[in-house]
Amino acid sequence: MLKKIFLIVLVLAFIAAALVFYFLYSSGLLRQPQYDTQAPEVAGMQHPAILVLSKTNGFIHEEGLPAANKMLAGLAKDNGWSIYQTENAASHNAQDLAKFDVVVWNNTSGDILTKEQRADFKAWLFAGGQWLGLHAAAGDFSYDWNWYVETFLGAQFFGHTMSPQFQDADVLVVDAANSLTSHLPPRWTVPQEEWYAFEQNPRATGATILLTVDEASYDQDELIFPEPTMPGEHPIAWQKTVGDGAMIYSAIGHQAATYENAHYREFISKAIKQLMGNRQ
């Protein structure tokens, strides 16, 4: 009997250790950041142009990354935009950033820029650069750049649904008159996604909230992550100005199928068009 109890405890301890390992690895805490220092050759860009960065120093969204890149390439083709897609963060230098109207961070994770690249990216933004972040671009615990989290994003990732991880949930349009969300129903059910929560509401840093998630529409049980809820409003997409530039962020986008969703594709298309319009 004691041997049986011991084996059960041992199995439970093994499962707990595996879950802790998954938590640490998915958070990027077990990966040492690899920084790119040799910039790629970026040639042939004509305005309007998009730079898509998919650098990962944390969790790798193996399905969402290529699906988002495919969607973005399709939008570029449909709208006549030049597009350059890369995993090389050394593309974020003053000379190359000047070639682009919009920079998209597609499920980037972990700390990805050197101090010099941070300075060039920030200078580009404040001079009128336009940025769009998708899902994991704000979904990490391991950022080493306080300005990016506290001021630029205005919200530190806190956790996400885990029990189960992927769930249907109702997304709410905050302002029906906003051009970015005017095509969406007031309550939009997004199927089988991972729902982020943040430590604070980015409204406090001047953000305009575009979309929130109804916490009553999904299972809030936690596994090993902190509880995926927020007090009061639960933003999942927002925008704000950054110097003479601007940013739009959407926490939706873990699953590949999401990037084939017509409503979401239209939201991203509108976001890029608005950002490009800010450059004119």
pLDDT reported for residue 264:
98
pLDDT higher than threshold 80 for residue 7: no
Q: Classify domain 45-158+196-211+232-279 at the CATH topology level.
A: Rossmann fold (3.40.50)
List, for residues 198-235, the tens digit of each pLDDT value.
999 999 999 999 999 999 999 988 766 677 899 999 99
Per the document, the length of the chain is 280
pLDDT at 28: 57
pLDDT digits (tens, 9 = 90+) for 60-72: 999 999 999 999 9
Predicted confidence band at 114 (pLDDT cuts at 50, 70, 90)? very high
Tell me the whole-structure pTM to 2 decimals.
0.90
First to last CA, the chain: 76
The helix (H) or strand (E) run that includes residue 71 is helix 64-79
The structural domains of the chain, with segments of one domain joined by +, span 45-158+196-211+232-279
Assess whether the previous peptide bond of 191 is cis (omega < 30° from 0): no
* pLDDT, mean of residues 134-162: 93
Averaged pLDDT of the chain: 92
| Buried b or exposed e, range 244-271, using 16+ CB within 10 angstroms | ebbbbbbbbbbbbebbebeebbbbbbbb
Percent of the chain with pLDDT over 90: 79
Look at the alpha carbons of 213, 214, 218, 222 in this order and tell me if their dihedral is positive or negative.
positive
Task: Name the nearest CA neighbour of 242 among 74, 78, 127, 83.
Answer: 127
Mean pLDDT in residue range 255-261: 98
Contact 254, 135 (CB under 8 A): yes
pLDDT for res 144: 86
Mean pLDDT value of segment 250-258 = 98
What is the sign, positive or negative, of the torsion defined by CA atoms of 267, 269, 271, 277? negative
Cβ–Cβ < 8 Å for 199, 156: yes
Give which of 76, 77, 71 is closest to 134, Cα–Cα. 71
Least confident range from 22-26, 69-73, 144-148, 270-274: namely: 22-26
Average pLDDT over residues 18-34: 65
Report, as an integer, the average pLDDT of 23-28: 58
- 163 pLDDT tier (thresholds 50, 70, 90): confident
213 and 169 Cβ atoms separated by less than 8 Å: yes
